[in-house]
Amino acid sequence: MGSVQTRSAVDKFLETWEESYDHYNKRAKDTEKFCRETLKSHAIQCNVTSRAKNVDSLKAKLYARQTEKNFVYQSREEIIEDITDLSGVRIALYWPNDQEKVDRILKDTMHIEKIKEVNDRVQKKDQTGDQQRKRRFEWYSAKHYIVSVDPDHQKGGPKTKKVEIQLVSVLRNALAEVEHNLVYKPLSGPVSREEHNIIDALSGVVHMAECFLAQLWDSQVEKSTASTGPFKNIYALGLCFSGLVEENYGQKVADLGSLRPLMQLLAKNSLDTPLQLGKLLLQAKDKRDEFEKAYEGMRPSMSVGIIDHILFDGTGVGDPAPKEKLQMIYSTFIWLDELFAPATVWQEKLLSQRCIHEAHDYLPWLGHVDTQELLEDNTKFNDDVTMKIDHIWNWLDHHPERSVQLAFRLCKRGIVRDVKTEYYLFDRAFQIVGDLLSNTV
C-alpha cells in the first residue's frame, strides 16, 4: 500500500464530495425533522440540529483516521462504510433525565445498526502529537446511534443510508463546542495548562449543574400536578402526566408515549387539567387487565391507555365528505405509526390474514402520487375515487384490531393530522405496508 494509493482514494472522494453534499445534507435534514417532531410529541425539550460534513472537516478526519488506525483507504465504498457521520444529527437535551426516554424512542422508531458510548476518558494525542494532560472530569459524554434510513429517491443520490444521531445534554454540548474551538480552531496557539485546567473545572461544574437539573425536574413535576388550570402546552402535560403516573403506579415510566393526540383529545372533551387527567388515570388503571388483553402482543403506552378509555366511551362523526374521509384515512396511518412503535407491530395487526383480503385491491392506491394530489384538487373526486375511499373507510371502520380502531376513532373524533404538510409521515408509515401488500397473496 503506497502513499500514492492513500492520496488517490481520499482525494478522489473529496473531489466528488461537493456533488454528493446536497444528498447527504438532505438526508440529515429529513432525519432532523423527524426527530424534532417525534420528540416534541413525547414532550421532550431539546435542540435538534443537523449537517452534512463540510469538506475541510471531512478531509481532516479521513487523514487522521488513517494515521490513528495505521491503514489506508482503498476505495470510495471503504470510506463510506467507515465514516458514519457523513450525515449527522445532534439532539441536545434540556433535561438529562430524558436520556432514557429518548433512547427508548430512537430504538422504537429507527433502524439502529450500532450504538456507541462516546466519552473522552481515553486520552488521545493533540494536533502537535503531544499526549493530552490528565483530566479530572469527562469533558464530553454522549451516545451515538448509527441508524439506517430510507435511501433518497433522487437520481444520483448516495447509496449509503446511514445517519449518525448524537444524544447529549445541552450543557455537555456547550462545553464540547468551547473545547473544540480552543483545541481545533485556536486563536492564539495550543491550549495552555491554565486553559486546560479551567475547562476541566468547567466540566466539573457541568456535572454538578446536571445534578441540580435533575432536582429541578422533580420540583417541576410536583408543581405541575398541583396546578388547577388547563395544560398550557404539551410539555406541561408531560410533566403532570409523569408525576401522576409515578403517584398512581409507584414507579417512573421511561416513556409515556406520544402525547400529541392525548393533548388534543383532552382539550376537545374539556378534560385538560391535572384533576381530570388524574381521574382518567385512575379509571384506566381499574381496567388495566381488560386493556392489556385488547392489545395483546403489543406494548401500548400510558398515553394510549388514556386515549383508549376516552375513545371507546362515545361516538364520532357521521358520514364525512370524500376529501375529509381521505384525510382521516391518511391520518389513521400516521397515528398508528406514532402511537404503536415499532412499526412492525402495528403493521402485522393491520394486515393480519383475517382482514387483509377485504382491502388488498384498494390499499396500494393510497400510496400513489395521483391519490396524494386529491388533497389539492377537489375536481378529481369522481365516482371511482369515491368508491375506493369508501371501501377503505368501511374496512377501517370494521377492522377487528383494537390498535387500528383506536387510530381510526381518533380521526373520527376530529383529531386529524395536517396531511398536506405531514404527508412525509404517511409516506414513511406506508412504505413498508406497500411492500407487505405486494408480497401478500
Q: Mean pLDDT across the stretch 103-118?
A: 93
Inside any domain, residue 220: no
Same domain, 307 and 326: no
Pairing of strands 141-148, 46-52: unpaired
User: CB of 149 within 8 A of CB of 109?
Assistant: no
Handedness of CA 255, 260, 265, 271 (dihedral sign): positive
The pTM is what?
0.87
In a domain? residue 317: no
Query: Which of 235, 172, 180, 237 shows the shortest CA–CA distance to 203?
Result: 172
Rg, Å, the chain Cα set: 25
Does the residue 218 lie in any domain?
Answer: no
Answer yes or no: are the C-beta atoms of 311 and 406 closer than 8 Å: yes
Domain end marker among 291, 311, 331: 311
> In total, how many domains does the chain have?
3
Residue 195 one-letter amino acid: E
Question: How far is Cα 97 from Cα 361, in angstroms, rounded to an integer?
Answer: 47
Positive or negative torsion for Cα 16, 18, 20, 25: positive
What is the pLDDT, as a whole number, of residue 394?
A: 93
Does residue 234 fall inside a structural domain?
Answer: yes
On whether both 398 and 368 belong to a single domain, the answer is yes
Q: Are residues 281 and 208 in the same domain?
A: no
Residues 26 and 102 in one domain: yes
**Structure confidence at residue 434 as a pLDDT band (50, 70, 90):** confident
C-alpha cell at 243: 408525576
Pair 164, 240 in one domain: no
The model's pLDDT over 26-52, given as tens digits with 9 standing for 90+, comes to 999 999 999 999 999 999 999 999 999
Residue 217 lies in a domain: no
Question: Which amino acid is residue 419, in one-letter code?
Answer: V
Domain boundary pick from 311, 334, 356: 311
Computed over every residue of the chain, the mean pLDDT equals 87
Has residue 131 got a pLDDT over 70?
A: no
Q: At what angle do helices 383-397 and 322-339 cross, to 10 degrees?
A: 40
Q: Say whether pLDDT at 128 is over 50.
A: no
Cα 435 to the center of its chain, rounded Å: 22
Whether 208 and 236 share a structural domain: no
Residues 13 and 64 both lie in one domain: yes
Among 311, 341, 364, the domain-final residue is 311
Q: Is the pLDDT reported for residue 279 higher than 50?
A: yes
Of the chain, the percentage scoring pLDDT greater than 70 comes to 86
337 and 303 housed in the same domain: no
Please check whether residues 207 and 74 belong to one and the same domain. Answer: yes
| Helix or strand (DSSP H, E) at 114 | strand 111-119
- Residue in the block written with cell 403506579: 249
Distances (CA, A) of 274 to 112, 223, 235, 264: 36, 11, 13, 15
Distance CA 412, CA 374 (A): 20
228 phi, psi to nearest 5 deg: -110, -20
Inter-CA distances, 235 with 214, 251, 347, Å: 16, 20, 29
Percent share of the chain, pLDDT over 90: 61
Segment 233-244 shows an average pLDDT of 96
305 and 346 housed in the same domain: no
Pairing state between β 141-148 and 162-169: antiparallel
29, 51 contact by CB (below 8 A): no
Domain with 125 in it? 3-212
136 and 260 in a single domain? The answer is no
Q: What confidence tens digit (pLDDT) does each residue in 136-156 have?
A: 666 677 899 999 986 443 334
Residue 379 domain-assigned (yes or no): yes
State the pLDDT confidence band at 121, using cuts at 50, 70 and 90.
low
Inter-residue contact 9 to 72 (CB < 8 Å):
yes
Report DSSP letters for 44-110, one per residue.
--EEEEEEEPPHHHHHHHHHHHHHHHT----SHHHHHHH-TTSEEEEEEESSGGGHHHHHHHHHHHS
CA distance 147 to 129: 33
For residue 127, pLDDT over 60 is answered with: no
Flag whether 398 is in a domain.
Answer: yes
- Cell digits of residue 213: 437539573
Q: Provide the pLDDT for residue 171.
A: 93
Sheet holding 141-148, edge to edge: 46-52, 87-93, 162-169, 141-148, 111-119
Indicate the helix (H) or strand (E) that contains 166.
Answer: strand 162-169
Domain at 102, CATH number: 3.30.460.10
Q: Tell me, yes or no, whether 348 lies in a domain.
A: yes
Spatial separation of the C-alpha atoms in residues 329 and 433, rounded to whole Å = 14
Same domain, 283 and 413: no
